[in-house]
Amino acid sequence: MTESPFKGKTGIKRVFNALGYSIDGLIAGWQNEAAFRQVLLLAVAGIPIALFLPVPIWGKALLIGSHLACVIVELLNSAVEAAVDHTSLEKHHLAKRAKDLGSAAQLIGLINLTAMWVLVLLA
């Protein structure tokens, strides 16, 4: 068992280390995951549009939150896929289930995003 990368680190040093790991994760997602790039680019386009739409602040918040939720779900989905692939590249029904569940979570996130855009624009 390996030690935690945070072991022995406290206070501001721990915060900066955690920030570095998070940035490494964003870079890894961008470099290795086409789906992450697509969802992130959708957010980069959708969030500014949401900010400038003549809709109430609650509408802007729903749209921005829905975009960010999709980005988060895609990062988690990519993490599950990487962990499963690291464990074994052999086909296994549990590995397939894990990957399919992550994919289903993103599908629900994208359906939610679409629904929020429709509802906010029609409100």
State the catalytic residues. Answer: 74
Q: Confirm whether residue 9 is marked as ligand binding.
A: no
Q: Confirm whether residue 74 is marked as ligand binding.
A: yes
Q: Confirm whether residue 13 is marked as ligand binding.
A: no
Q: Confirm whether residue 33 is marked as ligand binding.
A: yes
Per the CB < 8 A criterion, the answer to whether 42 and 74 are in contact is: no
The residue among 102, 119, 93 whose CA lies nearest residue 36 is 102
Q: Confirm whether residue 99 is marked as ligand binding.
A: yes
In the chain, alpha helices (H): 11-32, 34-52, 57-87, 93-122
Alpha-carbon span 61 to 72, nearest angstrom = 16
Q: Which residues are annotated as a binding site for a divalent metal cation?
A: 33, 81
Q: Which residues are annotated as a binding site?
A: 14, 21, 33, 74, 81, 90-92, 99-100, 103
Q: Which residues are annotated as a binding site for substrate?
A: 14, 74, 103
